[in-house]
Amino acid sequence: QVQLVESGGGLVQAGGSLRLSCAASGRTFINYAMGWFRQAPGKEREFVATISRTGGSTDYADSLKGRFNISRDNAKNTVYLQRNSLKPKDNDGYYCAENLWRKATCRYDYDYWGQGKQVTGYS
């Protein structure tokens, strides 16, 4: 059974950092490029970052370049999203997703999704 489970977050002060994790199970992790998306209440789900199967290539939303960093550990079947210099608008629901073979910035290109992690980590 395919499963993606997001975790992480917590309270942080303005300008702080937090890391989200997404643990994958149910198929061969290295066959999938991974992505992170976020969604505010009442808004469209938007692209955050994507990473290739080996981790050698990444893409980011223009507005988040330099603040967020995506990485993966294929030995642990986990993808991470390091979020730095946090702002109140970063408090959204964060979702990880899998795309067979290649990176993608469009949410419709992804095959599997996690349940999402609501981040309220700003104080």
Alpha carbons 123 and 120: distance in angstroms, whole number: 9
Q: Would you tell me how many other CB atoms lie within 10 Å of the CB of residue 91?
A: 17
Res 98 pLDDT > 80: yes
Cα-based distances in Å from 36 to 47, 53, 83, 100: 7, 14, 12, 15
DSSP 68-115: EEEEEETTTTEEEEEE-S--GGG-SEEEEEEEESS--SSGGG-SEE--
pLDDT in tens, 27-75: 899 999 999 999 998 999 999 999 999 999 999 999 999 999 999 999 9
In the block, residue with structure tokens 């999938």: 32
3-state secondary structure of 26: coil
pLDDT of residue 90: 87
